[in-house]
Structure 1
Amino acid sequence: MARRDSRRLDEDDVRNRPTRYGSRARTKQRPAHSDAETGMVVTVDRGRFTVLLDGPSGSEDTVLLTAMRARELGRTAIVVGDRVGVVGDRTGGPDTLARIVRVEPRETVLRRTADDNDPYERVIVANADQLLIVAALADPPPVYGLIDRCVVAALTAGLEPILLLTKADLASPEDVLAHYGPLDVPAIVTQRGADLAPVRAVLDGHVTVFVGHSGVGKSTLVNALVPGAARSTGAVSGVGKGRHTSTSVFALALPEPAHGWVIDTPGVRSFGLAHVSADDVLWAFPDLEDGAARCPGSCEHLTAEDGCRLDAWVAEGHSTPARLEAFRRLLVSRKDLGGAIALP
């Protein structure tokens, strides 16, 4: 066979080694997605996100669609309450799938850890402004440590904590109200069959996260406030290949004439506060902050015997013994109970 002259080789004689990226030019520029429509994430389930798109200004027309996270977002966390930009098929029709390409800056985040020994923070809700802590006065009785933990989570997240006491027909609310009076936590007392107008008034115009111990009546309350809530959550969580799936957190719009959102947390099984420091809790007590500046750098603010100067600060009249006691109770509560809050 005649030997090929290398000077006569043409393009058919050259072998190109295939590469992972082929011949496509690589670039660090990301698409702007200027045509993305904005919406709110209302459920998250197995990598699929249910998004309620904003309707045209002044219009009540909205579209509920299923979306996936765009590749360029990497592992960016997307949670219920997030405001997101969506592209692709935005009709919301059966078997359609859009893409979330942008997560807007969050105003607030509600975090938790799996337990008090877990340093990994999990954002479970974004952009809420209230935390409604539902507790029964009897059957089951109130567990102050659990309520305290929820108060800590709300205060350190920038949410307004609100205490809702149910089953007032079974027990008096006086002791519980006195217990949380020094914290200035607003409280609503209700019972089975009572008018829910006071609750609706508190929720109107807000995005409110509901949290509560098993058996306190939280699910009953959600269904009363948002008729058809069970049916709605079943519809929006039925993503995937025709299966009915469950979701741990979901958002429901309050019916007209109210304007606001209820975010329920039925699948959250624990509420660790490993990410919360003593200084985080202190931030919610402005009447004690200047006094804490007198304390040693390593002060845990628990007792005067350990060098805490807050007792002297209170004695000077800058705050009250009840406020200091409540502050220290929250510090202790954030480390108690192993981080477990059993929810329905």
Structure 2
Amino acid sequence: MIAVDRGRYTCVLADDGPGASAVTAMRARELGRKSVVVGDRVGLVGDTSGTAGALARIVRIAERTSVLRRTADDDETTAEGKLERVVVANADQLVIVSALADPPPRTGFVDRCLVAAYDADVEPLLCLTKADLAGPEQVLGYYAELELPYVLVRPDSDLDGLRDLLAGRVSVLVGHSGVGKSTLVNRLVPDAARAVGRVSAIGRGRHTSTSAVALRLPPRPGTDADPGWIVDTPGVRSFGLAHVSAASVLHGFPDLVEGTVGCPANCQHTADEADCALDAWVAAGRADPRRLASYRRLLASRAGDADPREADRGPGAPPAA
């Protein structure tokens, strides 16, 4: 399933290659309250010709290999519990798009995305745009201990390196508004025609993409290899982690995990925990103090003790308004 709009689902048949006709479908009543999201592999019955006016029915949703979720806010809940939004199903890779300038990088937001990726068992890839405006050293230094794969993008770069990392995979692109995500999508898939916004004078982007959509990457000349799919998502101001347990948040900071071995039982790892071993771990030079600070800001934000916008700030970022 590649798109959803007002109760109509756009699908492509698995055996069809690039340029295949899209099939419009609706949910069958027997699915009940099961959600159908972009990336789902579904079973169709009825008219699957893709001709104008044809309408198939979705009667089955295959078991998902991965589910990438987010909440709008860290502490967002309903009477039934945590309010989760499935971003996409069956993704292999989360491409975290961050500008190096205009707007400045927000490593706190990247940290949130890493937590969500590890929780969903999806591989992360850091895509640093606007590399013509600023160098990547500060951001890469912050993630040095993680050996996080990354790619630099400039307006004049050929994107071959990025295409190599996307080939054969379903990759979800996520990022703050204004980081150049839609521009990047249009370069990768020239027929996509995704709306491109602008960055305001105070460094905030205007939202452009309004719904998630899966796009098949064009075949690469001289090869029959699967070029892969990308899923463009709406620009977000926050990537809430209410659906992720506090223990799972720690696994988004693998450089800190070993440091918790010396913590007492039931340690919450917050700044108020006098015996938390993470402070000594950082003091001994085993981890970057900024990473511990970011981890604790996320914990505080999840508990409602901090503004999530402040938790998203990175080195040099302007204060939240």
TM-score (norm 2): 0.78
Aligned residue pairs total 283
Q: 1:329 and 2:294 equivalent?
A: yes
Q: 1:124 and 2:94 equivalent?
A: no
User: SS in structure 2 opposite 1:266?
Assistant: coil
Matches within 5 A, 1:303-342: 303=271, 305-310=273-278, 321-322=286-287, 326=291, 329-333=294-298, 335=301, 337-338=307-308
8 Å Cα contact 2:145/2:255 also seen in 1:
no
The one of 52, 58, 70 aligned to 1:94: 52
User: SS in structure 1 opposite 2:11?
Assistant: strand
Q: Cα distance, 1:285 vs. partner?
A: 5.6
**Corresponding residue for residue 276 of structure 1:** 244
Deviations 1:235-284 (A, max 9, x none): xxxxxxxxxxx851000001103521100002656421111222112345
Comparing 265-274 with 95-104, greater Cα deviation is found at 265-274
Q: Cα distance, 1:308 vs. partner?
A: 2.3
8 Å Cα contact 1:80/1:126 also seen in 2:
yes
Identify if the C-alpha distance between structure 1 residues 157 and 261 changes in structure 2 by more than 3 Å, giving closer, same or farther.
same
**Corresponding residue for residue 184 of structure 2:** 221
The one of 177, 183, 193 aligned to 1:230: 193
Q: Cα distance, 1:85 vs. partner?
A: 0.6
**Corresponding residue for residue 175 of structure 2:** 212
How far apart, in 1, do the equivalents of 2:103 and 2:281 lie? Answer: 38
**Corresponding residue for residue 22 of structure 1:** none
How far apart, in 1, do the equivalents of 2:126 and 2:96 lie? Answer: 5
**Corresponding residue for residue 6 of structure 2:** 46
Q: Cα distance, 1:304 vs. partner?
A: 8.4
Identify if the C-alpha distance between structure 1 residues 286 and 152 changes in structure 2 by more than 3 Å, giving closer, same or farther.
closer
Q: Cα distance, 1:43 vs. partner?
A: 0.3
**Corresponding residue for residue 232 of structure 2:** 264
8 Å Cα contact 2:97/2:179 also seen in 1:
yes
Q: Cα distance, 1:141 vs. partner?
A: 1.1
The one of 250, 254, 257 aligned to 2:213: 250
The one of 167, 172, 191 aligned to 2:135: 172
8 Å Cα contact 1:66/1:98 also seen in 2:
yes
Q: Cα distance, 1:287 vs. partner?
A: 7.1
Q: Cα distance, 1:297 vs. partner?
A: 4.5
The one of 71, 76, 79 aligned to 2:29: 71
The one of 107, 111, 119 aligned to 1:144: 107
How far apart, in 2, do the equivalents of 1:338 and 1:139 lie? Answer: 21
How far apart, in 2, do the equivalents of 1:337 and 1:222 lie? Answer: 31
> Which amino acid is the alignment partner of residue 66 of structure 1?
T
**Corresponding residue for residue 8 of structure 1:** none
Q: Cα distance, 1:307 vs. partner?
A: 2.9
Gapped runs of 5+ residues in structure 2? 77-81, 196-208, 221-225, 313-321
Comparing 166-175 with 294-303, greater Cα deviation is found at 294-303
Identify if the C-alpha distance between structure 1 residues 170 and 104 changes in structure 2 by more than 3 Å, giving closer, same or farther.
same
Q: Percent identity?
A: 55
> Which amino acid is the alignment partner of residue 269 of structure 2?
H
8 Å Cα contact 1:134/1:164 also seen in 2:
yes
Q: Cα distance, 1:332 vs. partner?
A: 2.2
> Which amino acid is the alignment partner of residue 6 of structure 2?
R
- CA RMSD in angstroms, aligned pairs only: 2.9
TM-score (norm 1): 0.73
**Corresponding residue for residue 156 of structure 1:** 119
Q: Cα distance, 1:62 vs. partner?
A: 3.9
